Amino acid sequence: MAKMTEEKTGARGGAQAKSKKKKTPRQPMPEQDPRRRRHNFEEVPQGYSEETAILEAGRCLQCKKAGCIQGCPVNIHIPGFIGLIAEGRFVEALLKLKEQNALPAVCGRVCPQESQCEALCILGKKGEPVAIGRLERFAADYAREHGGVPDPEQAPATGKKIAVIGAGPAGITVAGELARWGHDVVIFEALHLAGGVLMYGIPQFRLPKEIVQYEISSLQKLGVEIRTDYIIGKTQTVDQLLEEDFDAVFIGTGAGLPVFLGIPGENAIGVFSANEFLTRVNLMKAYDFPKYATSPIRPRQVITVGGGNVAMDSARTSLRLGAGSTIVYRRSRSEMPARAEEIHHAEEEGVEFHLLTNPVRILTDEKNHVTGMECLKMELGEPDASGRRRPIPVEGSNFIIPADTVIISIGNQPNPLVPQTSPEIEVTRKGTIITDPETMMSSKPGVFAGGDIVSGAATVISAMGQGKKAARAIHRYLMGEDPPEANPETPDNDTQED
């Protein structure tokens, strides 16, 4: 589940706008009609046109000390790329984005902008922030569709070889950076397609798989070798990789271990982890059964337990499979960790919400098929360790929601396979790999890690941010010097707005 990165509205209020320019309103995103899209797997937001993009880009004040940049976990030079869009220089805008972000088409779609860059946009303090995410997506889509993007410059070969484990956003970022700096990179991916959560988890209607595959193919153009069907920890261990012919290893295996509730009835037929449910539909394309052979799930009434992005994705995917869809979440609406836009989309499409509700047990028939779920009402008590108010059960408030399918989406834990088979790599009690926060190096020299395997289930962009850091550290570790940075003027992290 995506965790809350910043307080959502922390920076708002108080300050007055610095500009007296004529106001253009924030440009709305054209979207597929909810009545139609709840029955199909096509993408929901349809993207800005060139005109709208220029109009929206024109709203940016080009702040000298831009807050948005601090909000971005990889410090994209936001005013820079937006300025280029405003001038109609779309491909250059993309190149600007690419300096910091290997996957702008993805991030523009899935980042929680409202709690990151856009939360710190100065315009947001009075009115609506610049639609940074939508512009990012626009530049990337434009360049992909129109071509004309020059091949990235590649440094001469260094002769160093790096193994990257896991082809999720963290691994993709590391591999891309290192390849550009002249290293020989091999990615090992357990599944049959590269992309990690971007392929198996996030649904087609939010992130078309063609975009992910396009990004993967640009990696391959840089000479990165991707070995799918290769499970580190099973096929081979990290130690063996280092012994054989790799000079360094990066672990980006993500948080792929589904957590279950541990309530009675959880192994009934019709109970799925969100991972299984989404994998069947996205990666295995079970919605196109029987052309794709993986057995589909044909729910009539689905309960999704959880309140994160994954839960929203599961609930909305259920709708598209023709089911009624309900979310059961034990805290209140404002505690939901999902992106605001996803909650909004889910509501618009007709997902029902049972908030402050906790599952007690799953009911089944004599054939072990799900028939419903017994729940308990909750009320909010004192704040807990996470700063969110702790939900407390209301005695005797039990009630039953009928359903034939239950999707458990209460989070994922780090993938244990690699640490299990490499005892020298130290992990926390939760199973995340312990790394040096500056270099992302683990307790085993030459082995680096990043992404969800380090932070616990987080976000695409934070995985990429850690990947960036790790790539630089790996280069330094192997070459004893800083990488040939294309754009050395990384924005100063310490500058604070106001």
Ligand X SMILES: Cc1cc2nc3c(=O)[nH]c(=O)nc-3n(C[C@H](O)[C@H](O)[C@H](O)COP(=O)(O)OP(=O)(O)OC[C@H]3O[C@@H](n4cnc5c(N)ncnc54)[C@H](O)[C@@H]3O)c2cc1C
Residue ranges binding ligand X (CB under 6 A): 2, 110-111, 165-171, 188-191, 196-197, 201-202, 231-233, 252-254, 256, 278, 309-310, 313, 339, 415, 417-418, 451-453, 457-461, 463
Question: Alpha-carbon distance 213 to 109, whole Å?
Answer: 15
Query: What tokens appear for 86 in the block?
Result: 């405003």
Q: Shortest gap between Cβ of 226 and another protein (angstroms)?
A: 11
Nearer to ligand X, 301 or 455 (CB): 455
- R_g (Cα) of the chain, nearest Å: 23
Q: Shortest gap between Cβ of 293 and ligand X (angstroms)?
A: 21
Query: What tokens appear for 23 in the block?
Result: 């106001």
198: enclosing H helix or E strand = helix 197-200
Query: Considering CB distances under 5 to 8 angstroms, the limit depending on partner class, which of ligand X, another protein, none binds residue 67?
Result: none
Residue pair 425/418 in contact by the 8 Å Cβ criterion: yes
Question: Alpha-carbon distance 437 to 442, whole Å?
Answer: 10
Nearer to another protein, 260 or 399 (CB): 260
Asked if 416 touches another protein (CB under 8 A), the answer is: yes
Q: Shortest gap between Cβ of 200 and ligand X (angstroms)?
A: 7
Nearer to another protein, 35 or 476 (CB): 35
Residue 351 burial (CB < 10 Å; 0-12/13-18/19+)? buried
Tell me which amino acid residue 259 is. Answer: V
Question: Alpha-carbon distance 296 to 289, whole Å?
Answer: 7
Query: Considering CB distances under 5 to 8 angstroms, the limit depending on partner class, which of ligand X, another protein, none binds residue 451?
Result: ligand X
Cis omega (within 30 of 0) for bond into 437 = no
Binding marks (x or -) toward another protein, 218..247, rule CB under 8 A? ---------xxxxx--xxx-----------
Residue pair 166/189 in contact by the 8 Å Cβ criterion: yes
Q: Shortest gap between Cβ of 401 and ligand X (angstroms)?
A: 22
Q: Shortest gap between Cβ of 468 and another protein (angstroms)?
A: 25
Asked if 272 touches another protein (CB under 8 A), the answer is: yes
Contacting residue, 20, 22, 291, 430, with another protein by CB under 8 A:
291
Query: Helix, strand, or coil here: 310?
Result: helix
Spatial neighbors of 258 by CB under 8 A, at least 6 apart, are 273, 274, 275, 276, 408, 412, 413
Contacting residue, 24, 267, 428, 496, with another protein by CB under 8 A:
267
Tell me which amino acid residue 144 is. Answer: R
Asked if 293 touches another protein (CB under 8 A), the answer is: yes
Q: Beta 399-402 vs 370-383: how paired, if at all? A: antiparallel
Q: Among 301, 274, 276, which Cα is nearest to 402's?
A: 301
Q: Shortest gap between Cβ of 456 and another protein (angstroms)?
A: 16
Query: Considering CB distances under 5 to 8 angstroms, the limit depending on partner class, which of ligand X, another protein, none binds residue 418?
Result: ligand X
Q: Shortest gap between Cβ of 152 and another protein (angstroms)?
A: 26
Site for another protein, rule CB under 8 A: 33, 35-36, 38-39, 190-192, 200, 227-231, 234-236, 256-258, 260, 266-267, 269-270, 272-273, 275-276, 279-280, 284-285, 289-296, 298, 322, 367-368, 415-417
